[in-house]
């Protein structure tokens, strides 16, 4: 059915009617899908997938059976039944335990974290409006912002997450020059994707001061919060805010499974209400009900210690291997949680060539530029330890060391 | 967390930063949720829910167990496994059987039909662009269009669906007056919600001629296609189109269950590609895999005859009861499929008062104005026969007749 418009838009085909953003989306990405990086034989350090054994398939089947036995059709009907509602109250109670002052009506369940980010941005942004994000940041969020025609401005990170001094300078400069101020700032304050860094409390407080002074919203993406491997948790931004300007986002993708497609957001009531109205269509009541039972019946809490231990083991194996096999001009982050290590090379490199060479050596990574909204990241890349088999980590990192060493000596 | 902004937007709270559309979404609806219409004792003829016994809970549990046994974690991982892919090929094959010239790569699975409509509109529309829709039409679609700031223009229906002559006049007038032409037209050509009407083939062909002449896209919402109770099916608009300007939308909400939250669209490849890029976040691989097994294993096809027989029985009971209990000034549609009957009263009535009086008599309906993008529908309402217990239909319609009779004699 598409043959006659495959050649590209003319004045009288459907593509010509699409928005500029949608037209640009056709074959836009330089890298294509990151999933196509590497071969079947490559040790893949690219993907932020959870490891396969982490999925609680047996318990999910039991939860499904229980939900159907107890509430029959309600779990499959528009709106859902009691187990779907239990999920909202369970999330609210858990967020309250983290110091957030909220009611159940502040919680909105979404089809995953990115759905929450997308819909939040749709409520706040018109094309051309400005958003500030950490740089580098989650590539899925960059795509979401660009799809909405948002003017994305990056602010640097260091080893303690978002550099709030650099942010303050950027904001003051914009005010001084009468340049547009941001409507929102997007941050992953804990175990950031891709750097693994975490903002300490004093930076979080300073960020909120700036948000008040310059009147912007803070989108707090806390996708990795449950997966802290040591130390005490930092307070969520939403727990430090009393002005209703933090919109907090979480997900079950890393702690139950991506395929249940469930996340949530916590927001001031009028904001939550406007965002919910933007949700197009009904709720995935089936997965909500099943996960509602799974969480309310204690299985989520029971599973987290095992997940932490398994991910910490993978992280330690990767950090040890980096110590053993990286040349002297290479440095990397040491995350206390999450899935990712960010590697920087203190030399001019050609990152795409290095990736090709690494794949020839049998290992793959995601190039730094994928995590930058504009230019940047040419001497960096992301390693993920979440999905690779532990037994493959050392060989993979050794191969990476060989590739970097050879690239250096070009 | 929201207390200090409940009083409404000021210049320095998060609500003030939202788009006009999002701000307007806070408490916008005149009727609130239609779910709040009536009481626990009312015979509800409001909801387009499937009847509870239609949900194949036992087979879904078996499908889940089979999927987990055969592909383990793949069904819960980002991307999904073979059963998720089977769903795409099953849909493509079924659409091909209906005369549509397509490949699997023309199919895009969505989180339900409304998600498909919303994302399609996001690809084509900027705020202020014009869309033409049947009037009355599906209230969820009206909300979707308004959330995107679309300028919605209604064109009348008659007993054979969209009035293509009226549409041609509207388009010619707009061209003559240099008024904006539509980027898209939205139609439910078969068993329309709320009127139950179906467009014959000659009207479908004329619509496509107009789409070519005036260069707009046609969004074909075919949510009820599987539920035809007599006669031969009309060809889908997508089967009559060879220009790639029809975007066709389907759903499993009525034939499996709303809670699995799965629909699809069929579009020319560049259009499909742009729309997919606008999808924010990963796929609901779990429900895709389960429904993929359910369909590929033959259970969908096996279930449709039972669904048709049950819905046809309910429709017949309602049509018979209308014949018995309606006053002479009332007329109604006689749908050959779908869930809905549209009732019109040939007198000036106050529809909201009539609803209140009907609820006092023990029956509820959805008022006509809910299905109009602007004004209209004041002497009409929608009845649904899909969810009510068959044993309650006659009493409900009798109560409705009493309410109309009493209202008339005011």
Average pLDDT for chain A: 94
pLDDT string in tens for chain B (410-residue length): 644 455 456 777 889 999 988 998 886 655 556 667 777 789 999 989 999 999 999 999 999 999 999 998 999 999 999 999 999 999 999 999 999 999 999 999 999 999 999 999 999 999 999 999 999 999 999 999 999 999 999 999 999 999 999 999 999 999 999 999 999 999 999 999 999 999 999 999 999 999 999 999 999 999 999 999 999 999 999 999 999 999 999 999 999 999 999 999 999 999 999 999 998 888 899 999 999 999 999 999 999 999 999 999 999 999 999 999 999 999 999 999 999 999 999 988 999 999 999 999 999 999 999 999 999 999 999 999 999 999 999 999 999 999 999 996 55
Residue-level pLDDT at B282: 84
Rounded Cα distance, A368 and B373, in Å: 48
Percent of chain A with pLDDT over 70: 95
Please give the Cα distance from B115 to B261 (Å, whole number): 9
**Can you tell me the distance from the alpha carbon of A101 to that of A95, in angstroms, rounded to the nearest whole number?**
8
Measured in whole angstroms, the distance separating CA A71 from the mean position of its chain's CA atoms is 34
Quick check: A2 pLDDT over 60?
no
In contact, A240 and A209? CB cutoff 8 Å: no
Alpha helices in B241-380 (DSSP H): 269-278, 285-296, 299-325, 351-361
CA distance A206 to A169: 13
Question: Pairing state of beta strands A107-110 and A263-266?
Answer: antiparallel
pLDDT value, residue A33: 64
The region of weakest confidence among A282-286, A312-316, A399-403 is A282-286
Token pair for residue B363? 């029956």
Please state the rounded mean pLDDT for residues A88-113: 96
Structure confidence by residue, pLDDT tens digits, A315-370 = 999 999 999 999 999 999 999 999 999 999 998 899 999 999 999 999 999 999 99
**pLDDT reported for residue B167:** 98
- Chain B hits for A386, CB-CB cut-off 8 Å, are none
Write out pLDDT tens, residues A166-192: 999 999 999 999 999 999 999 999 999
Backbone Cα Rg of chain B:
22
Q: Which residue would you say has higher pLDDT here, A386 or A20? A: A386
Model confidence band, residue A4 (pLDDT cutoffs 50, 70, 90): very low
Q: Which residue of B has its CA nearest to A68?
A: B57
Please state the domain extents for chain B: 33-48+302-408, 57-299
Q: Which of A74, A241, A259 to mutate to test the interface with B (most CBs of B within 10 A)?
A: A259
- Which of B10, B51, B61, B76 is the mutation pick for testing A, counting most A CBs within 10 A? B76
Chain A positions in Cβ-Cβ contact with residue B115 (cut-off 8 Å): 280-281
**Residues B185/B145, Cβ–Cβ less than 8 Å:** no
Which chain B residue is nearest to residue A63, measuring alpha carbons?
B61
Residue A261 · residue B283 · CB < 8 Å:
yes
| pTM for this predicted structure | 0.94
Record: contact A284-B260, CB cut-off 8 A: yes
For B284, which of A111, A117, A125 is closest by C-beta distance?
A: A111
B258/chain A closest Cα distance in angstroms: 6
Query: Does B17 contact A118 at a Cβ distance shorter than 8 Å?
Result: no
The whole-number pLDDT of residue A298 equals 98
Residue A17 to residue B64, Cβ atoms within 8 A = no
* Cα gap A404→A346, rounded to integer Å: 11
Taking only the tens place, the pLDDT of each residue in A20-46 is 889 988 866 555 566 677 777 899 999
Q: Please, is B185 exposed, middle or buried when counting C-beta atoms within 10 Å of its C-beta (0-12, 13-18, 19+)? A: buried
CA distances from A265 to A101, A255, B312, B340 (A): 14, 16, 42, 36
Q: In what order do the strands lie in the sheet with B340-345?
A: B330-332, B340-345, B380-384, B366-367
Residues of B in contact with A104 (CB under 8 A): none
**Closest listed residue to residue A258, CA positions, set A142, A143, A114:** A114
> What is the C-alpha radius of gyration for chain A, rounded to an integer number of angstroms?
22
Q: Which of B95, B115, B223, B274 to mutate to test the interface with A (most CBs of A within 10 A)?
A: B274
Can you read off the two tokens belonging to residue B254?
């009525």
With contacts defined as CB-CB under 8 Å, which chain B residues touch A61? Answer: 61, 64-65, 68
- Reading across the β-sheet that carries A366-367, which strands appear in turn? A330-332, A340-345, A380-384, A366-367
pLDDT tens digits along A205-218: 999 999 999 999 99
Q: At what angle do helices B285-296 and B57-71 cross, to 10 degrees?
A: 110
Q: What is the per-residue pLDDT across B215-258, written as a single tens digit (0 to 9) for each?
A: 999 999 999 999 999 999 999 999 999 999 999 999 999 999 99
> To probe the interface with A, which of B2, B25, B32, B131 has the most A CB atoms within 10 Å?
B2
Mean pLDDT of A249-255: 98
Closest CA to A260 of A297, A307, A295, A229: A295
CB contact under 8 A, B273 and A184: no
B162: left (phi over 0), alpha (psi -120 to 50) or beta: beta
Q: Nearest Cα to A235, choosing from A187, A199, A261? A: A199
Which residues neighbour B30 within 8 Å (Cβ) at sequence distance 6 or greater? none
CATH number 3.40.50.2300 given to A57-299: no
Pick the CATH number of B33-48+302-408 from 3.90.1150.10, 2.60.110.10, 3.20.20.10, 3.40.50.12780: 3.90.1150.10
pLDDT tens-digit readout, A119-166 = 999 999 999 999 999 999 999 999 999 999 999 999 999 999 999 999
Per CB-CB distance under 8 Å, the chain B contacts of A22 are: 122-124, 274-275, 277-278
Nearest residue of A to residue B142, measured between CA atoms: A280
Helix, strand, coil percentages (3-state) for chain A, rounded to 5, are 50, 15, 40
Residue B319, CA distances (Å) to A220, B326, B383 in order = 54, 10, 11
Are A244 and B47 inside 8 Å of each other by CB? Answer: no
Smallest CA–CA distance, residue B198 to chain A, in Å, is 23
Distance from CA of B354 to the nearest CA of A (A): 27
Query: Using 50, 70 and 90 to split pLDDT, how confident is the model at A304?
Result: very high
Is B285 in Cβ contact with A287 (below 8 Å)?
no
Which residues of chain B does A11 touch, with a Cβ-Cβ cutoff of 8 Å? 215
Predicted pLDDT of residue A113: 97
Task: Say if CB A89 and CB A253 are below 8 A apart.
Answer: no
Q: Could you count the other beta carbons within 10 Å of the beta carbon of residue A392?
A: 15
Q: Are B296 and B88 in contact (CB under 8 A)?
A: no
CA–CA separation, B72 and A59 (whole Å): 13
- The pLDDT value given to residue B31: 58
């Amino acid at each position: 059915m598409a043959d006659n418009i495959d050649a590209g838009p003319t004045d009288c085909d459907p593509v010509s009617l699409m928005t500029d953003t949608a037209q640009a989306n056709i074959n836009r990405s330089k890298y294509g899908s990151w999933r196509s990086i590497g071969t079947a034989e490559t040790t893949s350090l690219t993907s932020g997938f959870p490891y396969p054994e982490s999925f609680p398939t047996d318990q999910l089947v039991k939860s499904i059976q229980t939900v159907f036995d107890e509430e029959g059709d309600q779990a499959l009907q528009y709106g859902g039944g009691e187990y779907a509602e239990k999920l909202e109250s369970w999330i609210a109670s858990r967020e309250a335990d983290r110091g957030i002052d909220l009611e159940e009506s502040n919680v909105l369940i979404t089809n995953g974290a990115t759905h929450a980010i997308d819909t939040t941005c749709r409520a706040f942004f018109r094309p051309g409006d400005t958003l500030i994000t950490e740089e580098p940041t989650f590539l899925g969020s960059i795509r979401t912002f660009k799809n909405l025609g948002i003017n994305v401005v990056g602010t640097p990170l260091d080893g303690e997450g978002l550099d709030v001094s650099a942010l303050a300078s950027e904001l003051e400069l914009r005010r001084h020059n009468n340049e547009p101020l941001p409507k929102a700032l997007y941050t992953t304050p804990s175990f950031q994707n891709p750097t693994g860094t975490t903002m300490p409390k004093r930076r979080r407080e300073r960020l909120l001061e700036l948000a008040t002074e310059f009147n912007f919203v803070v989108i707090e993406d806390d996708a990795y919060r449950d997966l802290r491997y040591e130390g005490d948790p930092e307070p969520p931004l939403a727990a430090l805010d009393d002005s209703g300007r933090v919109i907090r986002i979480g997900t079950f993708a890393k702690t139950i499974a991506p395929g249940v497609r469930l996340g949530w957001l916590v927001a001031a009531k009028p904001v939550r209400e406007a965002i919910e109205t933007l949700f197009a269509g009904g709720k995935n009541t089936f997965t909500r009900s099943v996960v509602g039972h799974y969480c309310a019946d204690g299985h989520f809490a029971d599973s987290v210690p095992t997940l932490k231990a398994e991910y910490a083991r993978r992280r330690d194996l990767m950090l040890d291997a980096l110590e053993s096999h990286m040349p002297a001009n290479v440095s990397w982050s040491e995350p206390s949680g999450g899935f990712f290590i960010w590697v920087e090379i203190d030399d001019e490199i050609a990152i795409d060539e290095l990736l090709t060479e690494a794949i020839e050596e049998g290992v793959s990574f995601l190039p730094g530029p994928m995590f930058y909204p504009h230019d940047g990241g040419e001497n960096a890349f992301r390693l993920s330890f979440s999905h690779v088999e532990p037994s493959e980590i050392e060989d993979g990192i050794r191969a990476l060391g060989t590739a970097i060493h050879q690239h250096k000596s070009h």
